[in-house]
């Protein structure tokens, strides 16, 4: 068979597509990222903040946007759709249609003058129609690629932008293009679409001005939104005092919407309510809901905080209708509370709209040949959650089912691993490695500084007197060359810059233009190509922080620009050439834990050709999956388990260490050494923590005292072994949240509601006449599992709610167990005489998680699950590089979620293992041994635990000093700022360098 094509097409450029692309490109594959719209970023770019950390969405996403946009092995193809596909896994030929942008992607610099001068306005889709944009536009200010686009529908064709565009990038006559691209596998990540709430006409969306969708409200909250973060009523501009959120608009709604639960709306509504109140204290948020589904990691705490700290009011009721007062435009919300219809007036209503399958789902399914489920999301299996029905085509993110961002990112990495699996033998075959000329040795040279001052079209030049800045720069010490450019970032200027660096023998380069946050890597690259060390480059930000903010003070702006240039010139003379240090990588992995996640991770890595050491302390593989007897699907979990075990056992790349315990782990990314009990040592480059969890042993409800009280897993086991006769034991009660959502363990255990539904259905299957009661606080069968909850209800399973004030009481009685419960809705006391009582107990972390955490220097959450590097965007990484996480060790999750996350860990680990060596940024801290006296003030403040105190013998006595782990240091400089004796510094931010800038600023120098 021919070698597969070492390239992957990722379809859809939201957070999911970006993550898949980055993981693939960073592990040796060429990626074509195809996006329908003009820029990547997806829905996440529209969000204001993200739960449960309330991080600013754009702030955490921007680095990924930039990395995706600049990656040498990711080719962004925007405004494009798949037309057809040919071939098979390993070798697909994909035909794309690329719609015209009408602005040249190569030459447009994103300066934005076209949009400024465009006389035509259009509805701004990015802001959900709450404001206007121009007919030539970028989707949002941080768009990647930062290339404008002409909205042909709205453009009147006046030709003004062509006249204004200094880069000559306007191409009105650009035509559609057909592209043919050869790839080995495909990842689908087109995301989701929005439910149209006007279908639910009783809420008045589209008719009543002050009824908004949750996404519209999200834009309202955003600092880049229509009112810069002030929430105002569209009808009259007032800040709404009382805001109502109506949950499940289009979700859990078989009649007019989707039968499934959209899985994210409860949490985003909590977030929106909290943030709205943060923005304006006078706001009184109320959330109308059926079940509050705060099922994720630390979500329950967020829910509690919303109620206790932010004062969000919760009303458990389905809203029957919304009416508008034609005068005040206030809204009357009708709902039932305690059996009475209540009409309550609000100033604004927010509809928590459902997540629908992407608009293009059916077209994609038809053109690419994979199947959809009944909800028009991708049809996938519980044990193959990332595989479509067509080999070689995988799915990540919301297209596999509604989900939140962490789930999406973990899956996106997982899909990358699955896609890489197909083409692993062709790794590094199509990727580019950049070649650079030998670096010029400048160490003995006097500084020769070149200053390039940018007009940025008219962005800088129309405010700042650029020629005057150039003339001024020429007068500064060490400056041997200064000139101006129309666009310093354009391709032709880059070529010119390289020539000038060589002709003028420049050994320091300064560009005075825009922000180093976006452009420094580009100019550093130019320096490298000219043979100059990239760390001899500096920037002065005279656009974003000067011309754009002092548009009407031209003289002052020019003076400020001169000052900024003078400051970087002063610093530049003191810059040091720095070298990235390289660490070799041991190309094998240690996987801790031989349960479902660990085995999935191990065989995933082995399939990609890496050696794996799988360590399991028990006598056999399988973990918790051994105990699971049936699932919410036809799949037999035990049969699957056997398959997975034999896959691991048969793979020669997997070295099994069964019945082994780890004694210690030493080393760092690329080079770890692990010692097992008994002395065996393993060398490896990465670690995957898949230590799993355990079922909680309850103490309440007669558990352990009465043989008819058991946990859900125990019930499954007994039922399978034939120890329970459902014909005889036909009155069964289940109690949810036994040992979770209480003071000791405030969080929700995520899976127990679905587990209860699963077992209830199993009981009904075996004996349709059995009486099954499920006593619950909130039913949290999120996503597609909602369908099973509905099925159970339809089959007569009785769901009865209880709350913390009215917990069930269980007593041994004459006829089995006597359970009494006060029904808060009906205000009646319910008595059940049950034959069996099944307790839904939480998944707990392994009792020795702390020890593993200590060995690996990775943190745990309050409830002792492992804490990932970032709750939202790094769900399978640890802050410690080279260590990854998956499965129950991260938090409770389902079989498919564990598998997806394990695959995610594989992709993340492969980004390390695929490299021969890891480059380490040199702009990190450095110890000056002669100044350091080992006071160790710097150790505590280091956020990365990168500094250790060491002692060694020097001139016959003990010398104390500190040592920096350069693979752990990120260069923040916290240490430097605590050191009392200049014993530690950060390269490129040394004291003399900063002092030079300060002196230049104050005019001392």
Partner 1 sequence: MAEFEPKIIGFLCNWCSYAGADLAGVSRYQYPPDIRIIRVMCSARVDPMIVLTLFKEGADGILIGGCHIGDCHYISGNYHTEKRVYVVKKLMEKAGLEVERFRLEWISASEGEKFAKTVTEFTEKIMELGPSKVGEDPELTNRMGAAVDASLDFRIRSLLGHEVGMIENGNVYGETKTEEEMRNIIDIAIEDEFRRSLILGVTSSKPASAKELSQIANLPTERIVEHIATLRQKNLLAIDHVDGMTPYYVALRVGGD
Could you tell me the smallest distance in angstroms from the CB atom of residue 417 to partner 1? 42
For partner 1, the closer of residues 173 and 650 by Cβ is 173
Measured N-to-C along each axis, helices 15-25 and 405-423 cross at an angle, to the nearest 10 degrees, of 40
Residue 824: which residues within 8 A CB-CB, separation 6 or more? Answer: 801, 802, 803, 805, 806
Q: Which two tokens stand for residue 674?
A: 């692990």
Q: Do the Cβ atoms of 568 and 997 come closer than 8 Å?
A: yes
Name which of 120 and 389 has its Cβ closer to partner 1: 120
Beta carbon of residue 99, minimum distance to partner 1 (angstroms, whole number)? 15
SS3 content of the chain, % helix, strand, coil (to 5): 30, 25, 45
Nearest residue (CB) to partner 1, 552 versus 728: 552
Q: Please tell me whether the peptide bond between 52 and the residue prior to it is cis, using omega within 30 degrees of 0.
A: yes
Place of tokens 């010490």: 477
Residues 6+ apart with CB under 8 A from 490: 107, 109, 167
Kindly state the tokens that stand for 200.
């639910």
Rounded to whole angstroms, the Cα distance separating 685 from 671 reads 5
The distance of closest approach from Cβ of residue 234 to partner 1 in the complex, given in angstroms and rounded to an integer, is 5
In the complex, least distance from residue 169 CB atom to partner 1, rounded to whole angstroms: 14
Closest to partner 1 by CB, 118 or 800: 118
Positive or negative CA dihedral for 257, 259, 260, 261?
positive
Of 237 and 956, CB closest to partner 1: 237
Residue nearer to partner 1 on the CB measure, 282 or 847: 282
- For partner 1, give the closer residue by CB, 149 or 380: 149
Minimum Å gap between C-beta 951 and partner 1 is: 58
Spatial separation of the C-alpha atoms in residues 520 and 518, rounded to whole Å: 6
Q: How far is the CB of 240 from partner 1 (least distance, A)?
A: 7
**Any residues with CB less than 8 A from the CB of 307 and at least 6 apart, and which?**
314
Rounded to 10 deg, the angle between the 637-650 and 596-607 helix axes is 40
What is the C-alpha separation between 763 and 766, in angstroms, rounded?
5
∠ CA 118-123-127, nearest 5°, is 110
d(CA 271, CA 430): 44
Give min distance, CB of 311 to partner 1, in A: 17
Q: Give the DSSP H/E element, type plus range, for residue 405.
A: helix 405-423
Q: CB-wise, 84 or 115, nearer to partner 1?
A: 115
Q: Position of tokens 């000052």? A: 563
Interface residues toward partner 1, by CB under 8 A: 117, 119-121, 130-132, 156-160, 162, 172-173, 209, 226-228, 230, 232-241, 280, 282, 347, 550-553, 556
For residue 978, give both structure tokens: 């605590």
Nearer to partner 1, 552 or 639 (CB): 552
Distinct helix (H) and strand (E) counts, the chain: 22, 52
Residue partners of 625: CB distance under 8 A and separation at least 6: 595, 596, 637, 641, 895
Spell out where 229-374 has E strands. 242-249, 284-289, 313-316, 319-324, 331-337, 340-346, 348-353, 355-356
* CB environment 937-958: b (16+ within 10 A), e (fewer): ebbeebebebbeeeeeeeeeee
> From the CB of 213, what's the least distance to partner 1, in Å?
17
- Judged by beta carbon, residue 551 or residue 977, the one nearer partner 1 is 551
Tell me which residue of 41, 32, 37, 38 sits closest to 11, measured CA to CA: 32
In the bound complex, what is the minimum distance in angstroms from residue 157's beta carbon to partner 1?
Answer: 3
The answer to whether 478 touches 449, Cβ cutoff 8 Å, is: yes
Please state the closest distance from residue 271 (CB atom) to partner 1, in A: 22
- Residue 766 C-beta: closest distance to partner 1, Å: 59
Q: Which of 325, 556 has the CB closer to partner 1? A: 556
Residue closer to partner 1 by CB (options 164, 298) is: 164
Check: CB of residue 589 under 8 Å from CB of residue 913: yes
CB-wise, 153 or 650, nearer to partner 1? 153
CB of 239 to partner 1, least distance (A): 4
Least spacing, CB of residue 36 vs partner 1, in Å: 23
- From the list 946, 887, 883, the residue with the least C-alpha distance to 911 is 883
In terms of CB distance, is 119 or 584 closer to partner 1?
Answer: 119
Task: Give the shortest CB-560-to-partner 1 separation in angstroms.
Answer: 13
What element of type H or E holds 606?
helix 596-607
Contact criterion met (CB below 8 Å) for 260 and 293: no
* 878 secondary structure, DSSP code: -
Nearest distance from residue 96's CB to partner 1, in Å?
24
The alpha helices in 27-135, defined as continuous H runs, are: 57-70, 113-117
Q: Are 147 and 489 in contact (CB under 8 A)?
A: no
To partner 1, the closest distance from the beta carbon of 564 in angstroms equals 19
Q: Tell me the closest approach of the beta carbon of residue 160 to partner 1, in angstroms.
A: 5
3-state secondary structure 348-409: EEEEEECEECCCCHHHHHHHHCCCECCCCCECCCCCCCCECCCCCEEECHHHHCCCCHHHHH
Cα separation of the two ends of the chain = 70
Between 219 and 657, CB nearer to partner 1: 219
**470 vs 562: CA distance, rounded Å:** 9
- Rounded Cα distance, 404 and 262, in Å: 9
Rounded Cα distance, 910 and 23, in Å: 8
Q: Select 275 or 410, whichever has its Cβ closest to partner 1.
A: 275
CB of 880 to partner 1, least distance (A): 43
**Which of residues 282 and 678 has its CB atom nearest to partner 1 in the complex?**
282
SS3 assignment, position 1 = coil
**Number of Cβ atoms within 10 Å of the Cβ of 461:** 18
**Residue closer to partner 1, measured from CB, 463 or 565:** 463
């Amino acid at each position: 068979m021919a070698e597969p094509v070492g390239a992957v097409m990722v379809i859809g450029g939201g957070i999911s597509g970006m993550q898949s692309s980055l993981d693939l490109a960073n592990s040796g594959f060429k990626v074509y990222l195809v996006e329908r719209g003009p820029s990547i970023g997806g829905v996440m770019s529209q969000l204001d903040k993200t739960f449960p950390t309330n991080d600013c969405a754009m702030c955490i996403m921007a680095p990924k946007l930039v990395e995706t946009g600049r990656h040498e092995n990711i080719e962004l193809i925007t405004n494009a759709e798949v037309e057809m596909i040919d071939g098979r896994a390993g070798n697909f030929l994909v035909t794309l249609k690329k719609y015209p942008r009408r602005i040249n992607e190569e030459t447009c610099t994103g300066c934005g003058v076209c949009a400024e001068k465009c006389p035509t306005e259009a509805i701004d889709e990015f802001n959900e129609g709450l404001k206007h944009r121009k007919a030539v536009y970028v989707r949002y200010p941080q768009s990647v690629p930062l290339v404008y686009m002409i909205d042909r529908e709205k453009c009147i064709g006046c030709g003004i932008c062509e006249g204004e565009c200094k880069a000559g990038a306007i191409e009105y006559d650009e035509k559609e293009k057909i592209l043919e691209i050869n790839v080995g596998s495909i990842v689908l990540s087109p995301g989701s679409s929005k439910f149209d709430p006007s279908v639910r006409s009783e809420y008045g969306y589209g008719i009543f001005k002050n009824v908004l969708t949750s996404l519209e409200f999200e834009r309202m909250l955003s600092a880049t939104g229509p009112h810069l973060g002030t929430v105002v009523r569209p009808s009259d501009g007032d800040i709404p005092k009382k805001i109502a959120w109506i949950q499940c608009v289009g979700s859990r709604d078989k009649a007019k919407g989707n039968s499934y639960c959209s899985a994210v709306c409860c949490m985003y509504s909590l977030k929106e309510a909290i943030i709205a109140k943060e923005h304006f204290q006078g706001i009184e948020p109320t959330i109308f809901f059926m079940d509050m589904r705060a099922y994720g990691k630390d979500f329950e705490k967020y829910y509690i905080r919303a109620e206790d700290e932010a004062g969000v009011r919760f009303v458990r009721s389905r809203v029957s209708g919304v009416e508008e007062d034609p005068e005040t435009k206030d809204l009357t919300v009708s709902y039932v509370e305690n059996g009475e219809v209540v009409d309550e007036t609000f100033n604004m209503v927010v509809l928590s709209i459902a997540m629908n399958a992407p608009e293009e789902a059916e077209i994609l399914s038809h053109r690419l040949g994979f199947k959809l489920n009944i909800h028009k999301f991708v049809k996938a299996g519980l044990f193959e959650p990332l595989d479509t029905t067509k080999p070689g085509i995988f799915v990540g993110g919301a297209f596999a089912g509604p989900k939140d961002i962490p789930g999406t990112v973990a899956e996106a990495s997982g899909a990358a691993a699955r896609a890489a699996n197909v083409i692993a033998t062709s790794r590094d075959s199509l990727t580019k490695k950049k070649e650079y000329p030998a670096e010029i040795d400048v160490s003995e040279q006097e500084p020769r500084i070149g200053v390039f001052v940018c007009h940025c079209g008219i962005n800088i030049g129309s405010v700042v007197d650029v020629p005057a800045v150039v003339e001024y720069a020429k007068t500064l010490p060490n400056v041997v060359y200064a000139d101006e450019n129309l666009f310093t970032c354009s391709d032709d200027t880059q070529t010119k810059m390289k020539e000038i660096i060589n002709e003028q023998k420049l050994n320091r380069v300064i560009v005075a233009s825009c922000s180093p946050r976006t452009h420094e890597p580009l100019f550093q690259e130019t320096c490298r190509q000219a043979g100059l060390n990239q760390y001899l480059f500096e920037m002065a930000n005279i656009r974003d922080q000067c011309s754009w903010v002092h548009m009407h003070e031209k003289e002052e702006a020019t003076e400020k620009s001169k000052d900024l240039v003078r400051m970087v010139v002063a610093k530049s003379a003191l810059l040091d050439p720095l070298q990235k240090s390289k660490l070799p990588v041991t190309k094998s992995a240690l996987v801790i834990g031989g349960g479902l996640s660990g085995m999935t991770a191990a065989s995933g890595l082995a399939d990609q050709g890496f050696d794996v050491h799988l360590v399991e302390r028990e006598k056999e593989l399988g973990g918790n999956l051994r105990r699971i007897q049936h699932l919410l699907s036809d799949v037999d979990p035990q049969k699957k388990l056997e398959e997975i075990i034999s896959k691991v056992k048969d793979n020669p790349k997997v070295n099994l260490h069964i019945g082994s315990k780890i004694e210690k782990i030493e080393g760092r990314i690329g080079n770890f050494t692990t010692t097992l009990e008994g002395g065996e040592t393993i060398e490896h480059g990465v670690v995957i923590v898949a230590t799993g969890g355990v079922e909680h042993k309850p103490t309440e409800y007669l558990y352990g005292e009465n043989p008819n009280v058991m946990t859900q897993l125990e019930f499954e086991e007994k039922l399978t072994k034939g120890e329970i006769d459902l014909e005889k034991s036909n009155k069964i009660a289940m109690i949810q949240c036994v040992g979770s959502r209480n003071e000791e363990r405030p969080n929700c255990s995520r899976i127990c509601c679905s587990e209860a539904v699963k077992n209830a259905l199993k009981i009904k299957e075996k004996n349709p006449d059995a009486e099954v009661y499920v006593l619950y606080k909130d039913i949290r069968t999120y996503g597609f599992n909602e369908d099973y909850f509905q099925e159970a209800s339809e089959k007569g399973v009785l769901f009865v709610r209880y709350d913390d004030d009215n917990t069930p009481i269980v007593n041994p009685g004459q006829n089995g167990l006597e359970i009494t419960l006060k029904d808060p809705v009906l205000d009646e006391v319910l008595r059940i005489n049950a034959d069996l009582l099944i307790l839904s107990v939480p998944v707990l972390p392994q009792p020795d998680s702390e020890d593993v955490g200590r060995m690996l220097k990775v943190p745990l959450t309050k409830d002792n699950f492992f804490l990932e590097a970032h709750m939202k965007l790094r769900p399978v990484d640890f802050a410690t590089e080279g260590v990854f996480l998956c499965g129950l060790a991260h938090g409770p999750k389902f079989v498919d979620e564990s598998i997806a996350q394990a695959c995610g860990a594989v992709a993340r680990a492969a980004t390390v293992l695929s490299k021969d060596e890891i480059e380490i940024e040199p702009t990190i801290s450095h110890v000056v041994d002669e100044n350091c006296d080992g006071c160790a003030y710097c150790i505590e403040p280091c956020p990365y635990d990168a500094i250790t105190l060491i002692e060694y013998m020097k001139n016959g006595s003990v010398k104390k000093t500190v040592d920096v782990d350069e693979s752990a240091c990120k260069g923040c400089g916290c240490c430097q700022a605590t050191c009392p004796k200049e014993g530690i510094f950060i390269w490129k931010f040394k004291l003399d360098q900063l002092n030079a800038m300060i002196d230049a600023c104050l005019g001392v120098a």
